[in-house]
Structure 1
Amino acid sequence: MESKSRPTAADIAKLAGVGVATVDRVLNGRAPVRQETIDRVKGAAEQLGYHALPLIKRRATARIANVRLGFVLQKGADPFYQNVAAALRREFSSRVDVSGKVEIVFVDDISASSLGKNIVGLGTKTDAVACVAIEHPLVVEAVDELKLRRKSVFTLLSEISASGVTGYIGLDSRKVGRTGAFIISKMARAQGRIATLVGSHRYRGQELSEIGFRSYFREMGEEARLLETIVNLDDPEVAREVTTSLLDRHADLAAIYDAGGGRDGIIQAIRAHSSGQRPIVVCNDLTGATRSALIDGIITCVLCLPVEAFARAAIDEMIASITGVRAVAPNRTLPFDVIFAENLPAKSESSFEG
């Protein structure tokens, strides 16, 4: 009587509807495999009585190795992005379900062509990419190219319109802008001009913050107090020059809302200005400079991304997109912190300050 042949990896692959190479990856843990695929391979092995079923079962619950996550951040010298990068590395290293590598690229030249090249370049050597990017056809094209390569791409802090985007992780920027407007309306003097600064109109997050800020004053019937929005390129030196000019030209300057970066330049300009003017200032992110400025009364309020929670959410969504352990959230918005000098956390307590 002829004995029945023992099932092979090819038999498992056929029944599971995957390639033999995928079965090999499940068996040997050589690369990330979606949880759904692992379950199908395990089910086929159980059905056929595959001799390596115990190994497959261990792999199904084992730590996933060789996961590669890529992040395209901006302004490597900016303390905020350094804080974000450090939080991302801490979060990934603390994970018990995966191991691998986080690669972070800082882009100082935030032109669309430079961002697009960095997004594609990083995407070709990682399993998933997350980026802080401007809204531009070249950036959209880069994201859509990675989608064609079956790579997950997430936007951080500022959304873009590319159909290839897997999900967004950040704040509700319109709420941030309206909160800034609410604070200024309650704290600034009743008369006087109000300045709004953005890094670039191509950041949808900053644009939405500006829209929210202006819509609040429009509803209050005070839109006439708002000066034309000024672009500071998220550059401290440009922001310093812009703020100095505002103080020179508007003796009645009541408030400044900075929807983007460049906050260090605003602080420097107010400290150094001969008039001694102290407009209400609302900006983003708690850093060493903004902490000191809050204490000194140069800055009134800081609207903060909770960096540790943000890093956790980003890593969670990226891993989910790779492993398929759950559906990816297309829009993961986090609550933001509203910090005054009176509720300034101690440095040891802060989860969003480096």
Structure 2
Amino acid sequence: MDRPTIADLARAASVSVSTVDRVLNGRDPVRPATAEKVLAAAEAIGFHATGLIRQRLDRPDRTLGFLLQQRSRPYYRLLGEALQEAVRTSPAVRGRAVIEFMDDLTPGAVADRLLKLGADVDAAAVVAADHPHVTQAIDRLNGRGVPVFAFISDLTAQARAGYVGLDNWKVGRTAAWAVSNLCKAPGKVGIFVGSHRYLCQDVCEASFRSYFREHAPEFQLLEPLTSLEDPRYAHESTLDLLKRNPDLVGLYVAGGGVEGVIRGLRDQGGDVFRRIVTVGHEITEDTRSALIDGVLKLVLSHPVKGLAETAVAAMIRAAEPGDRDLPVPGPVPFDIFTAENL
């Protein structure tokens, strides 16, 4: 006799095939009473995946908190959506995501928001500049049994549960490789960071310079400009940089505000932005258009879906009783975009 199919299970439980699929794969929430009815029918007809259904129903409830930067920044809106989806579809838990966006990025404000978030979640992840206030908040939450992950930018807090993000040493050197090899001739190269308090950006700049010292010393790297993670300020700074350095050949935007840099380059016209090899971070609608138009030559980006799934899986493991010392995931591989592979 053939073993029962999903269609057979759906008929036995008096539900649709799509409902059975949701129970099996955890893709969408199903009312507990409906899920129990599917389980009872599976046991009655000897459905081969009864154990999986039972496992799905036995998943613990977990609330995961994420403290992200400004909602106005397209990348963080995309990331917030990906995190919601990763928590919702996690096969390990019945999850709830609490996602908060910060406009005030001062360390004291971030620390306060983190402590408030930590009071209501089983584990947290935060994108923050490295600062003693943030370290103190992580220490306090760790003492309460709430693991906190450094997300996207690492932190020096010893009590952090781990870091989920890129290998920024490789990111910066990849950006340097692109600028040095795509420029038609050596010359001046500008660098933007949002703030050196973000360790990811500090490491990107350091490794960018390291590559040039090692492989392309004929280029002149200028002192970094700070965008303060603000596109308006980055726009003004870009116009000033181009005015003071009309012979600029390369530009690396290692921090936030890339939208302002793009706008500043566009203001100067095609002759300027086609001449300058500009590398930025994160694929968004703005950076995608800039790649197509030649304003940017290369974009190095977090893989949003993979980053979200890695963070959620690590946070779930860390929130399990007795699992606090489990190894954290290694760096997430980054994506490389040009106009030709969009």
Check conservation: 1:303, 1:339, Cα contact below 8 A: yes
Structure 1 residue 322 and structure 2 residue 330: aligned? no
CA contact (8 A) 1:317 1:328 kept: no
CA distance in 1, matches of 2:280, 2:94: 37
- Which residue identity does 1:328 align to in structure 2? L
Task: Tell me the distance in 1 between the aligned counterparts of 2:282 and 2:65.
Answer: 23
1:280 aligns with 2:280: no
How far did 1:134 drift? 0.8
Determine the C-alpha separation between the residues in 2 that align with 1:310 and 1:146: 23
In structure 1, the partner of 2:339 is 341
Tell me the SS of whatever aligns to 2:229. coil
Which ranges of structure 1 fall in alignment gaps of 5 or more residues?
Answer: 1-57, 345-354
Matched residue, 1:77: 72
CA shift, 1:65, in A, is 3.6
Query: For residue 37 of structure 1, what is the aligned residue in structure 2?
Result: none
Instruction: Tell me the equivalent position of 1:128.
Output: 123
In 1, the alpha carbon distance for the partners of 2:171 and 2:230 equals 21
The equivalent of 1:295 in structure 2 is: 292
Distance 1:221 1:299 in 2: 21
The DSSP-based 3-state class of the residue aligned with 1:155 is strand
Aligned partners of 1:171, 1:179: CA distance in 2, in Å? 12
User: Which protein has the larger Cα radius of gyration, Structure 1 or Structure 2?
Assistant: 1
Q: What is the Cα deviation at residue 324 of structure 1? A: 5.1
Tell whether the 8 Å contact from 1:72 to 1:132 is kept in structure 2 after alignment: yes
Amino acid across the alignment from 2:232: E
CA 1:61–1:94 in 2, change beyond 3 Å: closer, same or farther? closer
Q: CA deviation at 1:192?
A: 1.9
- How far did 1:78 drift? 0.4
Name the SS of the counterpart of 1:277 in structure 2.
helix
Residue 129 of structure 1: SS of its match in structure 2?
strand
Residue pair 1:192, 1:253 contacting (<8 A) in 2 also: yes
Instruction: Indicate if the aligned counterparts of 1:302 and 1:339 stay in contact, CA closer than 8 A.
Output: yes
Matches within 5 A, 1:156-195: 156-195=151-190
Aligned to 1:64, the other structure's residue is in SS state coil
> How far off its partner does 1:254 sit?
0.4
**Alignment root-mean-square deviation, CA:** 1.9
The separation in 2 between residues aligned to 1:237 and 1:218, in whole angstroms, is: 32
TM-score calculated relative to the size of structure 1: 0.78
Conserved? CA contact 2:186–2:219, under 8 Å: no
Are residues 325 and 249 of structure 1, via their aligned partners in 2, closer, same or farther at CA, if it must alter by over 3 Å? same
Counterpart-to-counterpart distance in 1, 2:269 and 2:290: 17
C-alpha deviation, 1:66, in angstroms: 2.9
Contact 1:63-1:96 at 8 Å conserved across structures: no
Say which SS state the counterpart of residue 340 (structure 2) adopts: helix
Aligned-pair CA distance for 1:264? 0.6
Shift of residue 100, structure 1, vs aligned partner: 3.3
